[in-house]
Structure 1
Amino acid sequence: MLPVPFALNPALPANAVEIAARAKGYAEQAQAENTRTAYASDWAIFEAWCAAHGVQSLPADPGTVLAFLVDTAGTLTVSTQRRRLAAIKSRLRAFGVTLDTAAEPFRSVWKGIRRAHGRPPVKKAPLMPMQLRRALGAVPPGLAGVRDRALLLVGFAGGLRRNELAQLEVLARPGADWVEDGPDGLTVHLARSKGDQEGEGQVIGIPPGVHRSTCPVRAWRAWLDVSGINAGPAFRSIDRHGRMGEDPLCAHSIALIVKRAAIAGELANGATQADAEAAAKKFAGHSLRRGLATSAARNKAPGHLIQKQLRHRKYDTTAGYIEEAQLHDENAASYAGL
């Protein structure tokens, strides 16, 4: 638990305790829920390490934190260590303790750890339109198949993150993410997202597809028609007997649906079961979002439109997707006359 962010002043009104408690709640809300969860876990690990080594965790001095990083170097990825360091600094800061990581020897040792153990991030492959079409063609019939078609196409065309897909509802509700069906296509209303932590709201347009078999609007309407859903979560669990539940799919289930569709598509293309499963390991829930960005960039879509659909706050993030997609198309070597 975080401390009350300010000391109670006798001059404050009678309900000062209540005000302080509310202030504490707002302080906790300064970070996204996923960040708070990850930081809490990281701090618990650091506390346990300190207890095992007979050193103090709160307040922790730079030497203790540095020893923790050195002890776990090479066994953890640098990105995990970086997050744990951020979690420790955040926790200490909440108690009025500033951890100085800029002074020596902390700065040099931490830099050395990053240089020695830094690795490129492992990125999931984009699910490209041809792969998506094969996957859709191999989706089995039935209620789950109709749901999966809608989920894959709406997720791809909307450039949605897997947690955003999981949270979609079919009707407007305060604080909910929902889909509006109109004459020009679908409009996805997001109350809050990774790129909108302050809840200003984001709106995403999904136009009809050129091809009937890959039209996200038709797929969405077909799913609502077959499922009979008229309120609540859009994408729900379905058991092996074809019975639909009331609860929304979780983000992990979204990733599994993408992988399952990828396997079906590879099998339909003549791959063996083993090869199909190996190929599907490259894909996850993010493959839909990356697939839209990559295919749009390869088809020369303007960068600002890709940024708008992906809702990146900074164009540099979008540029990373575009550079990867056009790695061979927009290349100086192609002008060398080889």
Structure 2
Amino acid sequence: MNNVDHYLYAATRENTRKSYQAAVRHFEVEWGGFLPATANSVARYLADHAELLSANTLRQRLAALGQWHINQGFPDPTKAPIVRNVFRGIRASHPLQEKQAKPLLLAEVEQVAISLSTAAAQAQEMGDRPLSLRLKRNHALLLIGFWRGFRADELTRLAVESISVTPGEGMICYLPHTKGDRQYRGTPFKVPALAKLCPVSAYQDWQNAAQLEEGPVFRAIDRWGHVGERGMHVDSIGPLLRSILSENGVVSSELYSSHSLRRGFANWAISSGWDIKTLMSYVGWKDVQSAARYVDAADPFRNHLLSSVS
């Protein structure tokens, strides 16, 4: 790979690259389409999958096909009027309510955090290092993920050498790039030191127990208590969170995902009096529409309904 190819490769995020490759493979191999594609063939592809795939998935497939053609020097067929009109017709004919993860409430965070902390202390007293490590890691992941409103990929890309802790004040986590950082400027995220449910204390407890000096913060732990060298895969965060919640008494844990931490924090912040501009700046949203997808609308009848219950 020469320097030009190297930088072209680096220009696209790994997750996006993999999803685009899968989308192009689906069009060409599984559906039997030909590349470069015509606008008519792309329109037929959309129509054949209109009842099988969501509008968001179809939009991602179009983006992947369009990017493939641009990269190969061909005209982009996904911009043709027939493709745009077919996609618009699919959205009109098959409207689907957007599925959202259930927000994790602060009371549930507290319940799980206390349970994890207590169990970790007991495991340490009993000399069960593997269990103690897993509990401390999960405790740190839960509290950092909630109080920072991190996405799953951001949690997996946290690195020990990019975190600085100031006792009594908090810590700063630096990420070289995030989903909203299109210019690759890097973003520092301040994590508060709290008197209760403190993410900084949880991080330090996990770091010290696992003896982490550099590399990924969150890693796999084997049955013998060996901490892996590589960071956890982004797709493992959701299942891990559901397992943590289920094991610590949160009902309907299957309704939660890695987005539950972000949604839970956003709803807590708004209910605590944060204005939307402050929340957007803290979490890293660039537009109000992004924030609106995470924050539940207030129920104007809530107080009336509560007061009317005898």
TM category, shorter: 0.7 to 0.9
Deviation at 1:116, TM superposition (A): 1.6
CA distance in 1, matches of 2:29, 2:291: 40
2:39 touches 2:78 (CA, 8 Å); kept in 1? yes
Alignment counterpart, residue 210 of structure 2, candidates 227, 232, 238: 227
Alignment counterpart, residue 171 of structure 2, candidates 170, 186, 194: 186
Say whether 1:282 aligns with 2:265.
Answer: no
What residue in structure 2 maps to residue 157 of structure 1? 147
Deviation at 1:73, TM superposition (A): 1.7
Say whether 1:313 aligns with 2:303.
Answer: no
What residue in structure 2 maps to residue 84 of structure 1? 61
Gap change, CA 1:227 and 1:96, over 3 Å in 2: closer
Q: Secondary structure at the match of 2:249?
A: helix
Within a 5 Å distance, the mapping from 1:41-80 to structure 2 comes to: 41-48=22-29, 52=32, 56-58=34-36, 60-80=37-57
Deviation at 1:40, TM superposition (A): 1.4
CA distance in 1, matches of 2:80, 2:176: 42
Say whether 1:262 aligns with 2:245.
Answer: yes
What residue in structure 2 maps to residue 8 of structure 1? none
Deviation at 1:265, TM superposition (A): 3.0
Deviation at 1:109, TM superposition (A): 2.8
258-267 vs 301-310, which moves further: 258-267
2:104 touches 2:261 (CA, 8 Å); kept in 1? yes
Q: How many residues align?
A: 292
What residue in structure 2 maps to residue 36 of structure 1? 17
Q: Secondary structure at the match of 1:240?
A: coil
1:168 touches 1:235 (CA, 8 Å); kept in 2? yes
1:155 touches 1:288 (CA, 8 Å); kept in 2? yes
CA distance in 2, matches of 1:116, 1:333: 38
Say whether 1:204 aligns with 2:186.
Answer: no
What residue in structure 2 maps to residue 167 of structure 1? 157
1:105-139 Cα shifts (integer Å, max 9, x gaps): 44433322121223122111111110111112332
Gap change, CA 1:300 and 1:320, over 3 Å in 2: farther
Gap change, CA 1:306 and 1:112, over 3 Å in 2: same
Task: Specify the code of the residue in structure 1 equivalent to 2:182.
Answer: Q
2:66 touches 2:77 (CA, 8 Å); kept in 1? no
Q: Secondary structure at the match of 2:223?
A: coil
1:180-223 Cα shifts (integer Å, max 9, x gaps): 11131111111111111332011111111232xx1111111211
Q: Secondary structure at the match of 1:119?
A: coil
CA distance in 1, matches of 2:272, 2:80: 49
What residue in structure 2 maps to residue 327 of structure 1? 298
Gaps of 5+ in 1: 1-17, 172-177, 268-275
Percent pairwise identity: 28
Q: Which protein is bigger by CA-based radius of gyration? A: 1
Gaps of 5+ in 2: 121-131
Task: Specify the code of the residue in structure 1 equivalent to 2:140.
Answer: A
2:42 touches 2:78 (CA, 8 Å); kept in 1? no
100-109 vs 214-223, which moves further: 100-109
1:256 touches 1:284 (CA, 8 Å); kept in 2? yes
TM-score scaled by length of structure 1: 0.78
Within a 5 Å distance, the mapping from 1:241-260 to structure 2 comes to: 241-260=224-243
CA distance in 2, matches of 1:332, 1:170: 44
Task: Specify the code of the residue in structure 2 equivalent to 1:147.
Answer: R
Q: Secondary structure at the match of 2:215?
A: coil
Alpha-carbon RMSD across the aligned residues, in angstroms, is 2.6
CA distance in 2, matches of 1:115, 1:262: 38
2:46 touches 2:86 (CA, 8 Å); kept in 1? no
Deviation at 1:300, TM superposition (A): 1.4
Task: Specify the code of the residue in structure 2 equivalent to 1:88.
Answer: L
Q: Secondary structure at the match of 1:97?
A: coil
CA distance in 1, matches of 2:184, 2:286: 14
1:180 touches 1:186 (CA, 8 Å); kept in 2? yes
Deviation at 1:100, TM superposition (A): 5.0
Task: Specify the code of the residue in structure 1 equivalent to 2:152.
Answer: R
What residue in structure 1 maps to residue 126 of structure 2? none
Q: Secondary structure at the match of 2:255?
A: coil
Task: Specify the code of the residue in structure 2 equivalent to 1:297.
Answer: I
Gap change, CA 1:129 and 1:90, over 3 Å in 2: same
Gap change, CA 1:205 and 1:66, over 3 Å in 2: same
Task: Specify the code of the residue in structure 2 equivalent to 1:132.
Answer: V
